[in-house]
Amino acid sequence: MNQVEKALTHALFVHLHHNVDKAIDFGAFKKLNEKVDQIWPGALVVGPEANDDAAVVKIPGTECLVAAKMESHCSPCVPRPYDGAATGAGGAMRDVVAMGARPIFLLDFIGTRPLEEEVLVGPCGFNGTCTCGECQSMTSQERINLMLKGIRDMSEAMGVFVAGGGFSTSFSDIVPAVVVAVVGQQITEKPLTKPAKSAGDQIIIIGTTGKDGNDTLYRAGLVPILRPAEAAFAEERATMDTTLAAYRTGKIKACSDLGAAGIGAAVCESARFGGLGARIDLSKVPVRVADITPEEILICETQARMLLQVAPEDVEEVLAAVKSQNAVAALIGEITSEDQTVFEYAGQVVASIPNHPSKEILASLRK
């Protein structure tokens, strides 16, 4: 395995962000939900065991489906409180959109140190002492103001209510708690679940990819500088509106939000959950900067992007709907019947990720 394959395999199969079931007993929730289903039969449409982008419930006595997602963005708020909170809110909204819903309202929770205590904001924030000369010392209250402004500005850009939330100053850790929950109404006939549906389906990306959000590459030692994901307010709204326009064609078979580990994770998970594979041409991905590497295109977590899967015969209709919104989009690959996902650039394989890595490979990545 090359270094980028190790980084992506670790993110997909070892890191708890993509393996929540290793820390949380979904089985206990499933048993509970089966009991509650006796009260509200069929109300839970997509539950936690589905490991999808968001939950979906049906309001009893109606035909209304509601999608909801809770997302934390705590660590990014240490170096960049404003962008960290804004991208957390935007990411939760995209997760709701990925299920085929339009976000309506948001609840947030902020947990931090007492208001008068000093906190360090910037690249050295986790160390507590600045050695780069770029950090800023501020009060906990000032940092809270930045985080709340990030959430507010993203909600305004997306046309989403901030309906309530919670707050605590009892936290003593360097990392604040920044959690948002987003609720939206389904606009598609049924939820657009993440698993790939059919070999041959085409993969369309909406939005452009940059060098920010390189956390996975940085942890793997493949880039020297950590660049947290940057908030992209107008772009987020454009991506949402474009995705909803694509949904109205009725031709979307699966959808994924591009979050942690970017294109790499979104494609691999969709293919694997569907018992299929995929092949992606990274050179076809629209990019924001000219000096971006194939590895950055593969894994960077640039905001305001979505992946759609459509049947080959429906590609032109969906792309026409996308272009009607003056959005940037491209056909970048397809679902295959293989048991792996292959990422290429200019005819060269950048990474090949098996659906089922060997025990030996996983053991080596845990060291």
Catalytic residue among 15, 17, 18, 356: 15
What was the pLDDT predicted at 152? 98
What was the pLDDT predicted at 89? 97
What was the pLDDT predicted at 83? 94
The CATH architecture to which 202-365 belongs is: Alpha-Beta Complex (3.90)
Alpha carbons 275 and 293: distance in angstroms, whole number: 30
| Among candidate residues 338, 342, 341, 266, the one with its CA nearest the CA of residue 309 | 266
**Do residues 131 and 90 lie in contact, with contact meaning Cβ atoms separated by under 8 Å?**
no
What tens digit of pLDDT does each residue of 234-264 get? 999 999 999 999 999 999 999 999 988 999 9
Alpha carbons 320 and 89: distance in angstroms, whole number: 29
Alpha carbons 328 and 238: distance in angstroms, whole number: 10
More confident residue, 319 or 224: 319
Mean of all residue pLDDT scores within the chain: 95
| Among candidate residues 247, 277, 249, 255, the one with its CA nearest the CA of residue 341 | 277
17 counts as catalytic: no
C-alpha count within 13 angstroms, C-beta hemisphere, residue 43: 13
Residue 218's pLDDT band (cuts 50, 70, 90): confident
The structure tokens 């030996």 sit at 360
Name which of 58-67, 285-294, 348-357, 358-367 the model is least confident about.
Answer: 358-367
What was the pLDDT predicted at 347? 95
Domain layout of the chain by residue ranges? 53-186, 202-365
What was the pLDDT predicted at 141? 97
Name the H helices within the chain.
Answer: 3-13, 26-36, 81-98, 140-158, 215-219, 233-247, 262-273, 294-299, 315-323, 359-365
Tell me which CATH code domain 53-186 carries.
3.30.1330.10
What tens digit of pLDDT does each residue of 75-125 get? 899 999 999 999 999 999 999 999 999 999 999 999 999 999 999 999 899
Helix (H, G, I), strand (E, B) or coil at 101: strand
pTM (predicted TM-score): 0.94
What was the pLDDT predicted at 18? 85
Residue 166's pLDDT band (cuts 50, 70, 90): very high
Catalytic residue among 10, 17, 18, 73: 73
73 counts as catalytic: yes
Alpha carbons 323 and 68: distance in angstroms, whole number: 28
